[in-house]
Amino acid sequence: MKILAFESSCDETAVAVVEDGRKILSDAIASQADLHALYGGVVPEIASRKHIEAIAALTDQALKEAGVEKKDIDAVAATYAPGLIGAVLVGLNFAKSAAYALNVPLIPVHHIRGHIAANYLAFPELEPPFLALCMSGGNTLIVDVRDYTDFALLGATRDDAAGECFDKAARVLGLPYPGGAAMDKLAHESEGGVYELPRAKIDGCPLDMSFSGLKTAVVNLAHNAEQTGKQLDRAALARDFTQAVVDELVPRAMLAMQQSGRKVLVAAGGVAANSFIRAELEKECRKHGYRLYMPPLKLCGDNGAMIGAQGYYEYLAGARADWALNAYATRDIDDPIV
Ligand code: KG4
């Protein structure tokens, strides 16, 4: 079954063709990151307009690269939540018109379910049940993936996402948007141990996280240094900041594994590209005897193929949308699909 999949929840316009949920036939992406870098972060209105400009040509490109014609497409899948509402609406409405024109079913896909499904594309043997640690620019959560379309939220950030925190910390260190990858590189230039940064604990909810205190601490350090004329050790701050993020994420993932009794852990989302987080997850999973799956770097960030992968399983589970389907800025991963 060939699915034409659309993703437009933030600043990547992405269109892919995926076969049977597991095989990428094409994965076309138009990133707007350079444009938003001028402003130090994503400008939602600009994101929506750029999606409109890119999506039709990108669809032609995805079909061409896949070597398929429109008549070969069996269904259309699209991110319908969560994300920047104007941006999601562009991809979703384009997907609706494509499904209508091709006379095939329209499948709504939750963006974070898609991030998890990126792993199905890389690891043919991976099947639920497993736990997923999802870390992206807009969301950070620990989920029990009981089946392909059956999710239970175990813990989540109470405020900022890990990626948002990386991007803001990078900004005050003078790194370009999106700052995650640049922070990763800079952090390798120091052993750290210079700056004391907070780790959050939420009373009674050991799997919930908070990144806003960490973000504020880094912003304050940078501003104080600026005001007092002190030199910041940028590499050490990047390293100590990264360690604080690792300490928020990895022990919680291990606790969730222990509490749930699951033996397989899956990482997902843009922040899953971080080399320190990957190394620590590998170390801890080896220590505890857990099997760990992490997407290859190119499937960590937003892409259309992951929506095609999850779309296939949503399709098998009977998810269908009609033309009245709306987009949602927020929607939990375990909410009913529409
Ligand atoms: O999953 P994603 O592409 O978008 C959302 O669905 O939100 O994640 C983007 C986030 C950005 O915040 C970016 O800075 C971060 O992933 N990121 C990283 C790395 N590469 C990308 N964060 C830390 N280390 C990296 N190597």
What are the start-end ranges of the E strands in the chain? 2-7, 12-19, 23-31, 75-81, 106-110, 130-135, 140-147, 150-156, 264-268, 291-293
The overall average pLDDT reported for the chain is 97
Report the pLDDT value the prediction gives residue 62, as an integer from 0 to 100. 98
pTM of the entire predicted model: 0.97
- For ligand 1, whether the C-beta of 178 sits within 6 Å is yes
- For ligand 1, whether the C-beta of 86 sits within 6 Å is no
Q: Which residues contact 211 (CB under 8 A, 6 or more apart)?
A: 140, 157, 159, 160, 161, 162, 164, 165, 200, 245, 248
Residue 303 has pLDDT above 80, yes or no: yes
Instruction: Return d(Cα 62, Cα 296) in angstroms, integer.
Output: 20
| CA 12 to ligand 1 centroid distance, Å | 12
Q: Which residues pair with 3 in a beta bridge?
A: 18, 75
Computed over its alpha carbons, how large is the radius of gyration of the chain? 20
| CA 174 to ligand 1 centroid distance, Å | 17
Instruction: Return d(Cα 13, Cα 88) in angstroms, integer.
Output: 10
| CA 31 to ligand 1 centroid distance, Å | 13
Residue 117 has pLDDT above 80, yes or no: yes
Domain 2-117+301-316 and domain 127-298, same fold? Reply is: yes
Task: Report the share of the chain in percent with pLDDT over 70.
Answer: 100
Length of the chain in residues, anyone? Answer: 338
Residues 6-44: tens digit of each pLDDT: 999 999 999 999 999 999 999 999 999 999 999 989 999
Q: Where are the domains of the chain?
A: 2-117+301-316, 127-298
Question: 140-144, 175-179, 197-201, 302-306: which has the minimum mean pLDDT?
Answer: 175-179
Residues 186-218: tens digit of each pLDDT: 999 999 999 999 999 999 999 999 999 999 999
Residue 338 has pLDDT above 80, yes or no: no
- For ligand 1, whether the C-beta of 82 sits within 6 Å is no
Nearest atom of ligand 1 to the alpha carbon of 9? 6
Please give the CATH number for the structural domain made up of 127-298. Answer: 3.30.420.40
pLDDT (average), residues 222-237: 95
Q: 44 with 38: CB under 8 angstroms?
A: no
What are the start-end ranges of the E strands in 188-293? 264-268, 291-293
- For ligand 1, whether the C-beta of 269 sits within 6 Å is yes
- For ligand 1, whether the C-beta of 179 sits within 6 Å is yes
Please give the CATH number for the structural domain made up of 2-117+301-316. Answer: 3.30.420.40
pLDDT band of 320, cuts 50, 70, 90: very high
- Of 27, 79, 110, 136, the residue with max ligand 1 atoms within 8 A of its CB, to mutate for a pocket test, comes to 136
Report the pLDDT value the prediction gives residue 255, as an integer from 0 to 100. 98
CA distances for 67 relative to 70, 72, 150, 311, angstroms: 10, 10, 33, 20
pLDDT (average), residues 110-122: 98
pLDDT (average), residues 45-74: 98
Q: 186 with 234: CB under 8 angstroms?
A: yes
Q: Which residues pair with 19 in a beta bridge?
A: 2, 23
| CA 272 to ligand 1 centroid distance, Å | 8
Instruction: Return d(Cα 35, Cα 46) in angstroms, integer.
Output: 9
- Of 9, 139, 166, 177, the residue with max ligand 1 atoms within 8 A of its CB, to mutate for a pocket test, comes to 166
